[in-house]
Amino acid sequence: MGELRDAPIALAAQPRMQAIRITAFGGIERMEYAAIERPAPGPGQVLVRVAAAGVGPWDAWVREGRSVLPQPLPLVPGADISGVVAQAGPDVRGFTAGMAVFGATNARFTGGYAEYALADATMLAGKPARLSHCQAAALPVVASTARQALFDEARVAAGQRVLVLGAGGNVGAHVLQLGHAIGAEMIALGRPGQQERLRGLGAATVLDAEADWPVRMRASCDAVIDALGGDAQRRAFPTLRAGGHLISIVGEPDAALAAQHGVAARFMLVSVTTAGLVLLGELAEAGRLRAPLGEVMALRDARRAHAMLAGAAHRPGKIVLTVGA
């Protein structure tokens, strides 16, 4: 009788996907277009077949190792996504296979530059039918930041005057639209050549960033939304009425200046939520919020997208990577 031997065990191949992978922090050369294992959703998670992924400055911070949160390596960058549900975790309700969704991946803002991404169900919502996947992927983080800064933090209401520092950027574009949509008077601080674009986004007045705008606006604003920081932030304090709000998304405001002018000033971090995304989606469906797109390119061109984040020439608007569509 022959000797008994262990029979070979057939192992099912782990599904693979293409993604942008980072194995060490650093410059854009650290980004690799590679085949990696496809993740599977756990409790509270949804696996999304990504159609488009937004590119934002926070992606560069993650890549460079400058994120405020711990980021274990290797990782896939990217937070903004739009796509279709591939599979929902065992305890997830409200998201079914084939459903078009948009939102952010997770609190670390990672995992989006891939054919499939895991997303926390609490950071997803149904995609507005009016928007393409590229347009929807341009919204989640910047529009949520704008909504939170205006309404949760500054408590802006109809008829109030709001000064937007850095109005020409992606967050500023959404601040202008959202404020205009509720009837606030939106004042944009911009550069020469931006007048037409900023007025088209809802600005009643466009101020030249090189001019003496603090004197012109002295004690006339109810809120300042700051997407610039630095000297512009400091110069904005006199534009506020007593009791006004300065909300910064880029850095902690000067507490002494805030006290001197009798205003509230604070730095905020964005929180992307299903409820917030639903509100943004409703505005998009009604045609009152749009996602200004900039460069749109393939996933494998992520290095070029990050070069644009660092200053390479590109069209204004959100940079988006197309993945599955």
pLDDT at site 4: 40
By percentage, how much of the chain surpasses pLDDT 90?
90
Among the three residues 222, 251, 267, which one is the final residue of a domain in this structure? 267
Number of structural domains the chain divides into: 2
Could you tell me the pLDDT band of residue 325, with boundaries at 50, 70 and 90?
Answer: low
Structure tokens at 323: 């993945």
168, 259: one domain? yes
Domain that holds residue 235: 142-267
148, 216: one domain? yes
Please give the mean pLDDT across all residues of the chain: 94
pTM: 0.92
157, 134: one domain? no
93, 72: one domain? yes
Give per-residue pLDDT as tens, 114-159: 999 999 999 999 999 999 999 999 999 999 999 999 999 999 999 9
Which string of DSSP letters, residue by residue, matches 85-98?
Answer: EEEE-TT--S--TT
| pLDDT of 302 higher than 90 | yes
Residue 122: CA atoms inside 13 Å, Cβ hemisphere, count? 6
> Which residue has better confidence, 202 or 10?
202
Could you tell me the pLDDT band of residue 11, with boundaries at 50, 70 and 90?
Answer: very low
Torsion of CA 142, 144, 146, 152, to 10 degrees: -160
Residue 319 near residue 309, CB atoms below 8 Å: yes
Q: Judge whether 272 lies within some domain.
A: no
Give per-residue pLDDT as tens, 42-84: 999 999 999 999 999 999 999 999 998 899 999 999 999 999 9
Rg (CA), the chain: 22
Could you tell me the pLDDT band of residue 210, with boundaries at 50, 70 and 90?
Answer: confident
Structure tokens at 89: 């975790």
256 CB-near residues (< 8 Å, 6+ apart)? none
